Amino acid sequence: MKFFSDKKDLSVINKITKRRIALFTNGEFETDNPDVIKKLKPHFGCESPKIASSLANFLKLKKEAMDKGVYKKGMKKKDLEEALEEFNLNKK
């Protein structure tokens, strides 16, 4: 999971152990450790990898549809996939 901070370089220290649990570089920190995620989630903005990947796929489909001229405002991912598939079938 990716976390974001307003401060560019930030070190997060555990109050009990006095050890660093996160180091934000350029305002971002990424981890898969569930204990760290549990501690950071209430305090920092976060982005789930699944959501980021899904958004990237949607934006890629949207750009492709716009390039081919089949994009209409408000189209969902399923609609984009169908429109691109139909465009490719008609082109052949």
The span from the CA of 77 to the CA of 43, in Å, is: 32
Does position 49 have pLDDT exceeding 70, yes or no?
no
Write the DSSP string, 26-91: TTEEE---HHHHHHHTTTSEEE-HHHHHHHHHHHHHHHHHHHHT---TT--HHHHHHHHHHHHHHH
Residue 10 pLDDT class (50, 70, 90 cuts):
very high
Which range, of 31-35, 51-55, 66-70, 74-78, averages the lowest pLDDT?
51-55
Choice between 51 and 27, residue whose per-residue pLDDT is larger: 27
Residue 70 pLDDT class (50, 70, 90 cuts):
confident
Cβ contacts of residue 70 below 8 Å, gap of 6+? 83, 84, 86, 87
